[in-house]
Amino acid sequence: MTVSNKLTVASIQMDCILNDKEANLNRAGALIEDAVKKGAQLVVLPELFNTGYRVEEYDTVLAEPIPGAATQWMHQLAAKHHIYIAGAIIESGENGILYDTAVVVGPEGFKGKHRKMHLWGGEDKRFGKGEQLDVIQLSFCKIGLLICYEIGFPEMARIQVHKGADILIYTSAFGRARYYAWDTASRSRALENGAFVIASNRCGQDKDSAFGGLSRIVGPDTTILASYGAEGDAVVCAQIDLDEVARMRQVLPYLRDMNEKLYNNNF
């Protein structure tokens, strides 16, 4: 019997209400339910989906441990629907340090996390920098979990792919003013690594920060398999075939032909 490596994935685009976890979780929950109806097995939420992004004056109050309340909420939905859910929240870490942290939760519970390592703008005044770059094993493949601005750091994606990732996830609150970077980088990371990219982005506006939307799912040949516009909540779904990863890595063998010694000597 032939085993299918096809699965349906979803990139959630949503606006958030600042400092209102209940409203944001209700909104995210409804979008997840919609994704499940479309067959999604892996659902990605935006960066700081439960609090909104521009909550710097409330960071300490809104921060949660991981595992904690947010991951428990994610687990309830993941277990109910037998899916995986990823998204980023404000984490209360060790020694009172806060982190912008992406998590993934499955039917069996917490699977792993990634603390944002490259901080945008004034984020360094809010959050500590993560120091570990891992991949996370799901039932169907390994994923790389990254956050927003990190889409512009190809080294991170390459490291995760070398560790076995076939899907790169970007949970984001990417600005509208630099949408061109989002558009180009999301396709570039897919092409360079022969990997699928699931890029989930905020829409709407927090204070003077306008977010760009354009949530998308990109194939390893840079084809945009599904996408949405700049405005409005959306569930962006696509069926992907993980066999395409191996095929594209033969068509464009960037990983095979890397001169690793060169990079080891210069980084």
Domains of the chain: 6-260 (3.60.110.10)
Of 21, 111, 113, 116, which one is the catalytic site residue? 116
Number of C-beta neighbours around residue 95 at 10 A: 5
Q: Is 111 a residue of the active site? A: no
Ranges of residues in the chain with a pLDDT under 70 are 1-3, 267
pLDDT of residue 260: 85
Of 16, 47, 111, 244, which one is the catalytic site residue? 47
Question: What is the pTM assigned to this prediction?
Answer: 0.97
pLDDT of residue 3: 58
pLDDT by residue (tens digit) across 149-205?
A: 999 999 999 999 999 999 999 999 999 999 999 999 999 999 999 999 999 999 999
Q: Where are the beta strands (DSSP E) in 20-141?
A: 42-47, 84-92, 98-106, 109-115, 135-137
pLDDT of residue 1: 40
Q: Is 47 a residue of the active site? A: yes
CB neighbour list of residue 81: distance below 8 Å, 6 or more residues apart: 32, 36
Of 148, 150, 203, 237, which one is the catalytic site residue? 148
Q: Is 260 a residue of the active site? A: no
Distance, in Å, from the CA atom of 114 to the CA atom of 127, rounded to the nearest integer, reads: 13
pLDDT of residue 267: 67
